[in-house]
Structure 1
Amino acid sequence: MSRRTVNVLTLIIVLILLAFIGIFMASERSINQAKQETVRLVEVDHDVKKVNKFYWLTTTEATYFSLDYQNEENKQSYAIVARDGGDVHYFSPQDIISEADAKAITVANNEDNLKDIVAARLGLLDGQPVWEITFKTKEATMTYYYINAKNGQNIQVISNL
């Protein structure tokens, strides 16, 4: 290969790499912005000392941003915020099951077909707090498993995606 060809290929690879970095940074920016806005809304009612986890859940009804956070007294709480309208719902760990419990329930109820849990998200479905557990099956399909966050009961399964 000539020196000119190598230079052109190097330039193309660098441009492609820069494009991917730009796309990644833009997507991270929207997640960080949503997290910051959610924290600001929650701080209207409660002190947020530390954010343990941020969740982004989109259902057929709406999009929700949720926080698992510690307040000034180091007490854990959950807040679920509707993207449209900004309605905030608060829950204590006594009100809803934890992410770890939701994952354990999913594994127990799907152990024959579950290969790997991909994500867990907290939000609302029909006005009730839910955990959406996304997992990959042994047949390499995706399944969305919705669990009532108050009692751990299965609500809905969307599979073979």
Structure 2
Amino acid sequence: MKKWILLSVLFVAIIMGILVNVYLNAIEPVNAAENKAVEIAAKETNLSDFTDFNLYSGEETYYVLTGKNAKQEDVYVWINEKNGELITRNAKNGITKKEALNKLYQEKNPDEIIAVRLGMARIQKTDRPAWEIYYRKNSGTINYYYVDFETGEKLRAIDNL
């Protein structure tokens, strides 16, 4: 009986070790991208205290960081993964996540908001900082809604995916 208990504990420990290893290998590319983005932003801007990082994959991949300027104000930085080009905007000079959601609710009737994140919308071959809202309608369809970060205007919508 003791042998079965020991073998069961050993089996569970091995499975847990494998799962931890898979998880660590899965997040390694994201951690590497974050380290690269922080390094670029620290070198190219006068920002510090990077508090948030997201990967945005649209027409091109962008690293999106939140940092602080000398006045301790939140600043967003979009870094193009391919060419390293930076776009920097003060958070106070753009619309908030809540304001972007309000814009969506004025026009659409989403059933479930899945994610709201800063990204980049390509409009007439120009990339513009935007809030990307990923939501679901009652029909089960997936939809995207893009709101310009600076003006709050709707840039585009992708419906019924």
Task: Tell me if 1:138 matches 2:135.
Answer: no
CA 1:71 to 1:139, structure 2 compared with 1: closer, same or farther past 3 Å?
Answer: same
CA 1:127 to 1:113, structure 2 compared with 1: closer, same or farther past 3 Å?
Answer: closer
Contact 1:103 1:120 in 2 (8 A): no
Task: Please state how far the C-alpha of 1:89 moved relative to its aligned partner.
Answer: 1.0
Task: Please state how far the C-alpha of 1:16 moved relative to its aligned partner.
Answer: 5.1
| Paired AA for residue 112 in structure 2 | K
CA 1:73 to 1:122, structure 2 compared with 1: closer, same or farther past 3 Å?
Answer: same
Contact 2:47 2:69 in 1 (8 A): yes
| Paired AA for residue 84 in structure 1 | K
**Residue in 2 that maps onto 1:37:** 36
Q: CA RMSD in A?
A: 2.7
Task: Please state how far the C-alpha of 1:3 moved relative to its aligned partner.
Answer: 9.5
Q: What is the CA deviation profile of residues 10-39 of structure 1, one whole-angstrom value per residue up to 9, with x for unaligned ones?
A: 777655554443332223222222122111
Q: 1:44 and 1:78 mapped to 2: Cα distance?
A: 15
- After TM superposition, the score normalised by the length of structure 2 is 0.78
Q: 1:80 and 1:18 mapped to 2: Cα distance?
A: 36
1:69 to 54, 67, 75: 67
Task: Provide the secondary structure at the position in 2 that maps to 1:139.
Answer: coil
Task: Provide the secondary structure at the position in 1 that maps to 2:45.
Answer: coil
**Residue in 2 that maps onto 1:122:** 119
Task: Tell me if 1:87 matches 2:100.
Answer: no
Task: Provide the secondary structure at the position in 1 that maps to 2:91.
Answer: coil
Task: Provide the secondary structure at the position in 1 that maps to 2:84.
Answer: coil
- After TM superposition, the score normalised by the length of structure 1 is 0.78
Task: Please state how far the C-alpha of 1:124 moved relative to its aligned partner.
Answer: 4.5
Q: 2:20 and 2:116 mapped to 1: Cα distance?
A: 23
Q: 1:133 and 1:154 mapped to 2: Cα distance?
A: 11
Contact 1:65 1:123 in 2 (8 A): no
| Paired AA for residue 95 in structure 2 | I
| Paired AA for residue 45 in structure 1 | E
CA 1:19 to 1:121, structure 2 compared with 1: closer, same or farther past 3 Å?
Answer: farther
